[in-house]
Amino acid sequence: MSKGLLIVLSGPSGVGKGTVCTALRPKMPKLIYSVSATTRSPRLGEEDGVNYFFKTKEQFADMIATDQLLEYAEYVGNFYGTPRDFVERTLDSGKDIILEIEVQGALKVKEKFPEGIFVFLLPPSMDELKDRIRGRGTEHPDIINHRMSVAEDEINLMRHYDYAVVNDEIDLACKRIESIITAEHCKIK
């Protein structure tokens, strides 16, 4: 049995990573979705163990200390991380897994798993990105401005990725990601 593919999808906050991953699920039912741990509060409709593993800062610190995370990063005052064991077991079983993570975390994963497939999700424009973040209705204007500044810095790191996909239309973005995964499975290694 060959190892599965590790697909890392990242991009600026508000670009639609979660929306694209949700839309990919019915199109690629065999693709395993990695659930990240975070110290941020749940948004309306989010469930523990489904969208994220919601942890206190103390619980998260324990996960770091006991090497239970493949990567972790602080982003806008909260911590995010990928539980190591789940990812490794999934890959070893021959199944593909997708990580939906922030850019800082993706670059850390690339150091440990350079054979992964790294996909950078882009907004159609910076104005559209700002509108999406505002549209959530959960962010203070100061946080929105900070997220936009961080987004500009993150877009400059796109050169470290294998692929770039513009999220102008969700279905089209999904088709592009499906094509990338199909092509990676056809590679002669």
Q: Is 7 left (phi over 0), alpha (psi -120 to 50) or beta?
A: beta
| Domains in the chain: boundaries | 6-186
Is the per-residue pLDDT at 166 higher than 70?
Answer: yes
Q: In the predicted model, is pLDDT for residue 189 greater than 80?
A: no
Q: What is the pTM of this model?
A: 0.82
Please name the residue ranges forming H helices in 4-140: 17-27, 57-65, 84-92, 103-112, 126-136
Classify 52 as helix, strand or coil.
strand
Task: Tell me what percent of the residues of the chain surpass a pLDDT of 70.
Answer: 98
The 3-state DSSP composition of the chain as helix, strand, coil percent (nearest 5) reads 45, 20, 35
pLDDT greater than 90 at residue 20: yes
Residue 149 reports pLDDT greater than 60: yes
User: 129 near 15, Cβ under 8 Å?
Assistant: yes
The confidence score (pLDDT) of residue 135 equals: 74
Q: Is the pLDDT of residue 137 over 80?
A: no
Quick one: how far is CA 114 from the chain centroid?
16
CB under 8 Å to 80, separation ≥6 — which residues?
36, 37, 38, 39, 40, 72, 73, 74, 101, 102, 105
Fold for the domain defined by 6-186: Rossmann fold (3.40.50)
Does 98 have pLDDT greater than 80?
Answer: yes
Give the model confidence (pLDDT) of 60-69 as tens digits.
999 999 989 9
Q: Say if CB 32 and CB 72 are below 8 A apart.
A: no
DSSP state of 158: G
| pLDDT recorded at residue 13 | 83
Residue range 128-141: mean pLDDT, rounded: 78
pLDDT band at 1 (very low <50, low <70, confident <90, very high): low
